[in-house]
């Protein structure tokens, strides 16, 4: 008996749906185009020329995902902002070296492709790129039957930026007496969501209607703040900026030491920035200690700027002028027996 013919679609992969998604993505990607793009979406590889205004260009790259925040996106059918999170997690990391993000590529993987869902996700990615001044230059959509539960997907991406070699931020110049400025986060960003989800499970049936003036789900899913344009503006004006730290997994306690020279520590002043309703709710719901809050979440501070004390007020004023909420949250000191970062 002759077997009936099979197609790729019979095996669970819909090439036509993939083609339809690409057509939906193209106008979104076009909005992100910038100097340097030679060839973008549609080819086997994207082409980008480093802007000629750099004399000694050094490329800086970063990659990340969105983590278990995606579980809430699936459960709550909120797909339009996780793409912003994806971009932010990489471009904010590239930024801390002093680099201007140039381009971004994404990877979207699912069991069965839903074009509307994927287009919403990629729309967020494009929006994140637009807000960061970097081009969405390419990506990959993978439909893999049996790899993911129905309705679920995974996201990954990477950004490439460039910095003048003489202007790379390493933190090597940080010294005792420098001031630590904290830039407010927009919420939980994209770290600590395994604990966030536990808090939501614990409070099931008794969730607050609003937090920080937003509906509960919107407050929890608020996308990661993009600091690129504001911080690049400050770097252009203030050579006294010595280091930046993106506060991601590990919170304030684990990320600030990554830019501190040996023999120094950061002493942060408890209460020098306000605790939002969202973080207060998380802490109260799960009886989380202050220490655990500061090493799990950004706890209200999404980016740290270490600056010469003489320049601190001027740097803060520049950042506020670009729309950031800025708090002086501590100082750099010689390290004795204390931890690399203390909050007291």
Instruction: Please give, one letter per residue, the 3-state secondary structure of the chain.
Output: CCCCCCCCCCCCCCHHHHHHHHHHHHHHHHCCCCCCEEECCCCCCCEECCCCCCCCEEEEEEEEECCCHHHHHHHHCCCCCHHHHHHHHHHHHHHCCCCEEEEEEEEEEECCCCHHHHHHHHHHHHHHHHHHCCEEEEEEEEECCCCCCCCCEEEEEEEEEEEEHHHCCCCCCCCCCCEEEEEECCCCCCCCHHHHHHHHHHCCCCCCCEECCEEHHHHHHCCCCCCHHHHHHHHHHCCCEEEEEECCCCHHHHHHHHHCCCCEEEEECCCCCCCCHHHHHHHHHHCCCHHHHHHHCCCCEEEEEEECHHHHHHHHHHHHHCCCCEEEEEEEEECCCCCCEEEC
Copy the structure tokens of residue 319: 């950042």
Q: Which two tokens stand for residue 233?
A: 């503006």
CATH superfamily of 15-167: PurM-like, N-terminal domain (3.30.1330.10)
CA distance 49 to 37: 6
Task: Report d(CA 47, CA 99) in Å as an integer.
Answer: 19
- 44: which residues sit within 8 A by CB, 6+ positions away? none
The rounded average pLDDT for each run of 10 residues, N- to C-terminus, in the chain (344 residues) is 68 74 82 85 83 96 96 97 97 97 96 93 96 93 92 96 96 96 97 96 91 97 98 95 97 96 96 97 95 96 97 97 98 93 94
pLDDT at position 11 is 62
Structure tokens at 163: 């910095």
CATH code of the domain made up of 179-343: 3.90.650.10
Q: Sketch the domain layout of the chain as residue ranges.
A: 15-167, 179-343
> What pLDDT is stored for residue 30 in this prediction?
84
Beta bridge partners of 7: none
Assess contact for 61 and 93: CB atoms under 8 A: no
- Please choose, from the candidates 144, 110, 140, 108, the residue with its C-alpha nearest in 3D space to the C-alpha of residue 12: 144
Specify the pLDDT at position 299.
96
Cα distances (Å, whole numbers) of residue 179 to 175, 240, 260, 292, 336: 9, 11, 13, 24, 18
Cβ atoms within 10 A of the Cβ of 240, count? Answer: 18
pLDDT at 97: 97
d(CA 69, CA 88): 14
* CB-facing half-sphere around the CA of 124: CA atoms within 13 A: 27
Which pair of tokens denotes residue 254? 């684990």
Q: How far apart are CA 243 and CA 241, in angstroms?
A: 6
Total-model pTM: 0.94
- Predicted pLDDT of residue 8: 60
Q: d(Cα 304, Cα 284) in Å, to the nearest integer?
A: 26
pLDDT at 18: 75
pLDDT at 260: 97
pLDDT of residue 248: 97
Q: How many CA atoms are closer than 13 Å to the CA of 137, on its beta-carbon side? A: 23
């Amino acid at each position: 008996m002759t077997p009936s013919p099979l197609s790729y679609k019979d095996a669970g992969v819909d090439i036509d749906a993939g083609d339809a998604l690409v057509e939906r993505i193209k106008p979104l990607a076009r909005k992100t185009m910038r100097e340097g793009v030679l060839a973008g979406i549609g080819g086997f590889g994207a082409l980008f020329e480093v802007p000629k205004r750099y004399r000694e260009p050094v490329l800086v790259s970063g990659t990340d995902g969105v983590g278990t925040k995606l579980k809430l996106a699936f459960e709550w059918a909120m797909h339009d902002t996780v793409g912003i999170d994806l971009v932010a997690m990489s471009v904010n990391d590239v930024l801390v070296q002093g680099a201007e993000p140039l381009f971004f590529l994404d990877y979207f993987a699912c069991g069965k492709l839903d074009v509307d869902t994927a287009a919403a996700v990629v729309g967020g990615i494009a929006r994140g790129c637009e807000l960061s001044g970097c081009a969405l230059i390419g990506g990959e959509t993978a439909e893999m039957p049996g790899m993911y539960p129905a309705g679920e997907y995974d996201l990954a991406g990477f950004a490439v930026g460039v910095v003048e070699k003489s202007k790379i931020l390493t933190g090597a110049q940080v010294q005792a007496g420098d001031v630590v400025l904290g830039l407010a986060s927009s919420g939980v960003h994209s770290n600590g969501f395994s604990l966030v989800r536990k808090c939501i499970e614990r409070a099931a049936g008794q969730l607050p209607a609003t937090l920080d003036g937003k509906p509960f789900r919107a407050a929890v899913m608020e996308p990661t703040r993009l600091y690129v344009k504001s911080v690049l503006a400050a770097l252009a004006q203030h050579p006294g900026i010595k280091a930046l730290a993106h506060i991601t997994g590990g919170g304030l306690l684990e990320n600030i030491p990554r830019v501190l020279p040996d023999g120094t520590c950061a002493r942060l002043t408890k209460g020098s920035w306000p605790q939002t309703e969202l973080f207060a709710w998380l802490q109260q719901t799960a009886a989380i200690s202050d220490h655990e809050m500061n090493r799990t979440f950004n706890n209200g501070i999404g980016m740290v700027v270490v600056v010469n004390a003489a320049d601190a007020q001027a740097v803060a004023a520049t950042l506020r002028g670009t729309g950031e909420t800025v708090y002086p949250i501590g100082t750099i000191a010689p390290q004795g027996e204390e931890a690399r970062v203390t909050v007291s």
